[in-house]
């Protein structure tokens, strides 16, 4: 399934590939994995692509993606449709394997490129912060002492932001220990996603 993207986002992707810090990754034939358009209604700010997603070139093309789509109340085709969702990870490339899970996203990538990407997204109604790296980046000192406390207090961050735990299978134990996540947060998240996707486009002045 091809991943569609607004041409303006392709320009950003080309600039990311030309960045010297990504020279080795570009030489491998890897492309930065993110999606979005000027009409994206929901921004998914995640950690970094997994190995399978990087190899396929399709965001969340793995077990994490299957769980995430269920949490959002959509299907994978909708998730990677840039007219609906922008997927903007903290790093645009698979970071490599760690002893448990994947390595963290590289520092400085989001700070350098997110402003350029997010300024293109004019109609976003909701931002979903997937995992601690995205939460630290966006919420800063507003986040709570731990990831669990931050996610548990999701209502405290307003209607336009929802922090969630990463949907990795490695977090299955966390989900068992925190049943409120799927019984309380997920229904609220699905409602907010549905409302964001259904919201009419703003009226723009004719020039």
Looking at residue 206, its pLDDT comes to: 40
- Structural element, H or E, at residue 121: none
Residue 77: strand, helix, or coil: helix
Q: What is the DSSP letter of 47?
A: S
Inter-axis angle of helices 7-18 and 109-118, nearest 10:
160
Looking at residue 161, its pLDDT comes to: 98
Looking at residue 1, its pLDDT comes to: 43
Looking at residue 100, its pLDDT comes to: 80
* 46 backbone dihedrals φ, ψ, rounded to 5°: -115, -165
**Helix extents (H) in the chain:** 7-18, 23-27, 51-56, 63-72, 76-79, 109-118, 132-139, 147-152, 172-177, 180, 186-198
Looking at residue 207, its pLDDT comes to: 37
Looking at residue 199, its pLDDT comes to: 81
C-alpha gyration radius of the chain: 16
Domain 7-198 CATH class label: alpha beta
For the chain, domain boundaries: 7-198
Looking at residue 4, its pLDDT comes to: 55
Residue 149's contacts (CB-CB under 8 Å, 6 or more residues apart) are: none
Residue 46: strand, helix, or coil: coil
Q: What is the pLDDT along the chain (207 residues), one digit of tens a residue?
A: 445 567 889 999 999 999 999 999 999 999 999 999 999 999 999 999 999 999 999 999 999 999 999 999 999 999 999 999 999 999 999 999 988 878 999 999 999 999 999 999 988 999 999 999 999 999 999 999 999 999 999 999 999 999 999 999 999 999 999 999 999 999 999 999 999 999 876 554 443
Looking at residue 5, its pLDDT comes to: 60
């Amino acid at each position: 399934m091809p991943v569609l993207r607004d041409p303006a986002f392709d320009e950003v992707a080309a600039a990311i590939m030309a960045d010297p810090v990504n020279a080795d990754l570009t030489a491998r034939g890897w492309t930065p994995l993110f999606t979005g358009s000027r009409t994206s209604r929901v921004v998914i700010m995640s950690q970094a692509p997994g190995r399978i997603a990087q190899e396929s070139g399709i965001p969340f093309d793995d077990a994490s993606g299957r769980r995430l789509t269920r949490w959002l109340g959509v299907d994978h085709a909708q998730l990677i449709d840039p007219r609906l969702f922008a997927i903007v990870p903290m790093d645009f490339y698979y970071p490599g394997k760690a002893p448990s899970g994947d390595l963290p996203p590289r520092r400085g990538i989001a700070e350098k490129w997110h402003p350029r990407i997010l300024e293109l997204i004019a109609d976003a109604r909701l931002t979903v912060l997937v995992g601690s790296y995205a939460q630290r980046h966006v919420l800063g000192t507003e986040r709570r002492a731990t990831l669990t406390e931050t996610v548990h207090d999701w209502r405290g961050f307003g209607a336009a932001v929802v922090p969630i735990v990463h949907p990795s299978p490695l977090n299955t134990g966390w989900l068992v220990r925190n049943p409120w996540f799927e019984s309380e947060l997920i229904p609220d998240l699905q409602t907010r996603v549905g409302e964001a996707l259904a919201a009419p486009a703003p009226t723009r002045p004719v020039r």
